[in-house]
Structure 1
Amino acid sequence: MMNSSEKKIIFINKPNDFTVKKATRQDWECVVQWGNKEGWNIGYHDADCMYSVDNDGLFIGWLGDQAVAAVSLINHSEQYAIWGNYLVNNEFRGKGYGKAVCKVAISHSGNRDIGSNAMPHMVSNYTRSGLKPIYNIVHYTGKLKKIASENIKEISIVKPHHIDNIIKYDGLFFPTLRQKFLNSWLSFSGHTSYLKTVNGDIYGYGVIRPLPDGFRIGPLVARTPADAEELFNTLTSGLLENTKISIFLPEYVHESFFSFLRKRELFEQYHVVYMHNGNFKMNIPNDMYGIANLDLG
């Protein structure tokens, strides 16, 4: 019996040697390289985490033995999946290979609601696929300006016994519970995770991870802007002045947190549009200060 990475679908409307396969983690490394050439600055373990959440959710289109296009469609739960990593190798763009890979991948999500983060110029294309724009996600980046901050007693390193409670807390703001993702993301080598609790109640949590160029914070979830600032300060406390930092944050975040980031020398670089297909519940406004990853939510 074939395993998932060996299953092939041949497109009769494409060259005879064009196939789409579910990718192995090793296969996917070329997609990471494509993304970094586009300036995506992908975290060292982002692909490992995607694969651990849903190892059937990575798709590559091959022309003979050459990878030409890719997309991910990661099932977080029985209710929700998210598109990501929509990429076509430069020399093969405009030939329909990207759409062909998506046509195969879509069946993987079944009847789940689907989310996606689209570049603004792609919104109209994604709308034709049934996705609706919900809100913008802004990318802030810069060289960190260190500031003096107090030692926050309520903030501590995440331990294994915290994770179940973090999963429940996170599920208040994300479209679904994401057990596999958080069990993986919070503990990957190089990822540093902090939790704020007050009298045993969670007031926020955050993760920082290394990238080829600097570090990225996400998720960053907190009850108030002040809680988010305290977590940000703790997450960056071990970094040197002028270390490059980035964060993707929803546009509806309180203006005081944007001001805080600018004081730390982080500024808007670009934005993407979160889109959704299904019964979207806007239940995340004031607590989600930074998403984990554009391809995982």
Structure 2
Amino acid sequence: MTASPLEIRTMSEADLVLALTWAKEEGWNPGLEDLEPYRAADPGGFFMAWNEGEPVSCISAIRYGETYGFIGFYICRPEHRGKGYGMSIWDHGIKHLEGRTIGLDGVVAQQDNYRESGFEFAHRTLQQSGLSMVDTPMDSRLCTLGQGIFPSIWDYDRAFVPAERTDFLKLWCAPMLDTRRGFAFVEDGTVKGYGVIRQCHDGFNIGPLFADTPEIADTLFRALAGQVKGQTIHLNTPETNQAALALAERYELSPSFEAARMYKGPAPDLPLDKTFGTTTFELG
């Protein structure tokens, strides 16, 4: 039986902090400084549902450009499940992205429900986890991410996402944060790969890790993982990229979680052979 009508509104900053806490409680692993880049992606794309003044469910429906959107943060509090609150916030998010191709990374338990909503399977993404046992290589082609190189990073990143994400990327790649590091691989003045590692509630997530070749990806991986040697790291690898799976195995990372990338509408043609680590499960 459905409870009293919901009030659904755009999240405030405090609401998003709460949603990040819910995500942690669900066993997800948001970064310690994800708040600002997440909100920068699309400040109007985060929603929370309230019942009689109590927050009960949330979702993100992030608009990228004019033709693409991504669903994340789809959570209904355990004590409020079975009341229609999850479906109400889901319908609100989908409506917010109406007319666009919509992507999501679906947990195994929800994939059949997503198919019923018109989403089709594209590929599995495996979270690979383990201890970092590598050192950052001494390679003159490695460049710390910063404002000076950002235009080149933006140009490189565009091939890997269906629409531009400038505001998000500026903060995701921001230098001088205690919990985040990034490197680009630059050869003959051209960016041929880049990656970011950030501290999360459990260890450190590497994402994205984009590279033109497996060898470049390996160098970038060691540069990033070497920043936190001896600590737990996670890398989200598309199952279709055999070189990414081999990289994870080479450095003794093992699958710890899986999700299905699914799309409603025409699936974008992305270079998965150069995608060695996706950016986030929450925002694509």
Structure 1 length as normaliser, TM-score? 0.90
From 100, 107, 112, give the equivalent of 1:112.
Answer: 100
In 2, distance between residues paired with 1:237 and 1:154? 16
| One of 225, 231, 239 as aligned partner of 2:220 | 231
Task: Give the Å deviation of 1:212.
Answer: 1.5
Percent of paired sites with the same residue: 27
Name 2:210's counterpart in structure 1. 221
Shift of residue 17 of structure 1?
A: 5.3
Unaligned runs of 5+ in 1: 1-12
1:188-230 superposed Cα distances (whole Å, 9 cap, x missing partner): 7332111001101111000000011211100000011110010
Aligned to 2:11: 23
1:295 aligns with 2:278: no
Deviation, 1:105, is: 2.2
1:128 to 107, 113, 116: 116
Task: Describe the superposition over 1:13-52 as per-residue Cα deviations: whole angstroms up to 9, x where unpaired.
Answer: 9544521111111012222111111211211122322211
Q: What is the match of residue 6 of structure 1?
A: none
In the alignment, what sits opposite 1:283?
A: 270
After superposition, where does 1:67-78 map in structure 2 within 5 Å?
67-78=55-66
Q: CA deviation at 1:263?
A: 3.3
Q: Distance in 2 between matches of 1:159 and 1:30?
A: 30
**C-alpha distance in 1, partners of 2:245/2:140?**
25
Report the CA distance between 1:106 and its aligned residue. Answer: 2.2
Counterparts of 2:92 and 2:283, CA distance in 1: 19
When structure 1 is superposed on structure 2, of 14-23 and 266-275 the one drifting more is 14-23
Match runs of 1:163-202 below 5 Å = 163-187=150-174, 189=177, 190-202=179-191
Tell me the SS of whatever aligns to 1:36: helix
More helix by percentage: 2
Q: Distance in 1 between matches of 2:161 and 2:92?
A: 26
* Secondary structure, counterpart of 1:295 in structure 2: coil
Aligned counterparts of 1:259 and 1:172: Cα–Cα separation in 2:
23
TM-score (norm 2): 0.94
1 CA distance for matches of 2:182 and 2:93?
32
Distance in structure 1 (CA, Å) of the matches to 2:167 and 2:5: 36
The DSSP-based 3-state class of the residue aligned with 1:61 is: strand
Larger deviation, residues 47-56 vs 58-67: 47-56
Tell me by how many angstroms 1:262 deviates: 2.5
Q: Deviations over 1:259-292 (max 9, x none)?
A: 3322323101121100112222323121111111
Q: How far apart, in 2, do the equivalents of 1:179 and 1:229 lie?
A: 26
Q: Is the 8 A contact 1:140 1:266 kept in 2?
A: yes
- What SS class does the counterpart of residue 43 from structure 1 fall into? coil
What corresponds to 2:238 in structure 1?
Answer: 250
Whole-angstrom distance in 1 between the partners of 2:101 and 2:92:
17
> Which whole-Å CA distance do the structure 2 matches of 1:149 and 1:184 have between them?
23
User: For 1:226 and 1:66, how far apart are their aligned partners in 2?
Assistant: 51
CA distance in 1 between partners of 2:141 and 2:6 (Å): 55
1:103 to 91, 96, 104: 91
Aligned-pair Cα RMSD in Å = 1.7
1:65 corresponding residue in structure 2: 53
CA distance in 1, matches of 2:164, 2:258: 26
Contact 2:137 2:223 in 1 (8 A): no
Contact 1:76/1:180, CA 8 A, preserved across alignment: no
The answer to whether the aligner puts 1:41 opposite 2:33 as a matched pair is no
| Residue of structure 1 equivalent to 2:79 | 91
Q: Give deviations 1:89-129, integer Å, cap 9, x for gaps.
A: 11011221011012122222242211011012211211121
Count of aligned residue pairs for this structure pair: 282
Please list every run of 5 or more consecutive structure 2 residues that lacks an aligned counterpart in the other structure.
none
Q: Distance in 1 between matches of 2:228 and 2:281?
A: 24
